[in-house]
């Protein structure tokens, strides 16, 4: 395997496009492998170990949505950039599909792409890429470099005043070399290396400890923590969580758990028992990123969730996209009709 830090795997069936992208990528510091074959693509993922994938959507043997599925199945931790002649709506749909597969999508460029546009995009990728190893991630956990930021959850009262009704715990990495890193820059690697469960334990303890600090100051702020679907098949998880709450003297009603819609869909039937135990103890359960996955309405009906969190990709578009607005209205109506709270993510204005 190459020792070059920035490795780009390109899949496109047009030789001239491949040659053009290769030259631009090499000029900004990438080592490049190119293919048009899905089998070679899979092999290169494992052998070449790219930290960036650049892909077309329209190819004779495989389409880009299938490729995103392959990357998701492989738990690919790097970045993905789309370069395609597809129209803007298809490009947007592909990006959403990649996000639903847990991939780090960097956006899309529409063909014919200009030299300056491609070079700027690849330069941005170079700047964003950090060579992160499992050892570095373990060290970050051991040294307490991973910290929580708390995003407020607001509710509008009948008198039109806004009240802080809770918070969501968001993990950040205070990297000694690169500064503050966002989750998209290390969570995929956490999942790829299997450290995501250790990270979840770390975040849960830090969140519960912060709730205790607030309680001692007379402040009651429920905090929500994201958990991976893998925990839903761990029979010991509820008891460990209840023991943690007891250790810090925190009431279960002050802790909420969020599971992505995709995780809920993939969760086996035995997870219903675990979710029911958590709800019986007063822990609120939310479906996160609702609208980006493919939930079975039957499963949604039977699982004991108390909140739907509407994905920001819809919320940020409602002022200019009538379809997004219609989808948000429908999801809010669904939540309320199921006696669940609806929470809008991505409200920035």
Place of tokens 């009651």: 220
CA 293/CA 101 separation, integer angstroms: 9
User: Is the CB of residue 190 less than 8 Å from the CB of residue 137?
Assistant: yes
Q: How far is CA 292 from the centre of its chain?
A: 11
CA 291/CA 309 separation, integer angstroms: 9
Region of residue 6 (left: phi > 0; alpha: psi -120 to 50; beta: else): beta
DSSP state of 113: P
Cα–Cα nearest to 80, from 175, 133, 11, 159: 11
Mean pLDDT throughout 216-240?
91
pLDDT band at 5 (very low <50, low <70, confident <90, very high): low
User: Is the CB of residue 281 less than 8 Å from the CB of residue 251?
Assistant: no
- Long-range contacts from 151-154, C-beta under 8 angstroms, 24+ separation: 153/224, 153/343
Between 211 and 194, residue with greater pLDDT: 211
Residue 300: both structure tokens together: 């949604």
Whole-prediction pTM: 0.70
CA 9/CA 45 separation, integer angstroms: 8
Which pLDDT does position 265 carry in this prediction?
Answer: 65
pLDDT band at 269 (very low <50, low <70, confident <90, very high): low
pLDDT 10s digits, 52-108: 999 999 888 888 899 999 898 888 888 899 999 888 888 888 988 888 888 888 888
Beta strands in 196-254 (DSSP E): 223-226
């Amino acid at each position: 395997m190459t020792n070059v830090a920035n490795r780009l795997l390109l899949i496109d069936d047009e030789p001239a496009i491949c040659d053009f992208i290769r030259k631009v990528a090499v000029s900004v510091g990438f080592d490049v492998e190119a293919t048009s074959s899905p089998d070679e693509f899979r092999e290169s993922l494992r052998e070449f170990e790219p930290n960036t994938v650049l892909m077309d959507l329209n190819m004779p043997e495989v389409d880009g949505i299938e490729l995103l599925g392959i990357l998701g199945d492989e738990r690919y931790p790097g970045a993905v950039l789309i370069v395609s002649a597809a129209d803007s709506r298809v490009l947007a749909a592909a990006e959403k599909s990649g996000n639903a597969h847990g991939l780090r999508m960097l956006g899309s460029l529409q063909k014919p792409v200009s030299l300056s546009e491609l070079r700027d995009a690849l330069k941005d990728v170079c700047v964003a890429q950090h060579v992160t190893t499992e050892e570095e991630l373990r060290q970050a956990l051991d040294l307490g470099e991973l910290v929580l930021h708390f995003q407020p959850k607001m509710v509008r009262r009948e008198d039109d005043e806004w009240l802080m009704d809770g918070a969501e715990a968001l993990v950040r990495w205070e990297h000694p070399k690169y500064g503050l890193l966002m989750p998209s820059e290390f969570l995929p690697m956490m999942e790829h290396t299997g450290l995501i469960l250790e990270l979840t334990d770390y975040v849960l303890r830090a969140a519960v400890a912060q709730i205790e600090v607030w309680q001692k100051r007379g402040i009651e702020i429920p905090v929500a923590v994201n958990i991976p679907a893998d925990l839903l098949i761990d029979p010991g998880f509820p008891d460990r969580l209840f023991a943690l709450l007891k250790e810090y003297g925190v009431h279960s009603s002050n802790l909420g758990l969020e599971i992505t819609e995709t995780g809920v869909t993939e969760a086996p039937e035995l997870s219903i028992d675990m979710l029911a135990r958590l709800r019986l103890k007063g822990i609120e359960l939310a479906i996160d990123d609702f609208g980006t996955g493919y939930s079975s309405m039957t499963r949604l009906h039977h699982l004991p969730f108390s909140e739907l969190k509407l994905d920001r990709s819809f919320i940020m578009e409602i002022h200019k996209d009538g379809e997004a607005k219609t989808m948000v209205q429908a999801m809010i109506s669904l939540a309320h009709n199921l006696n669940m709270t609806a929470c809008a993510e991505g409200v920035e204005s």
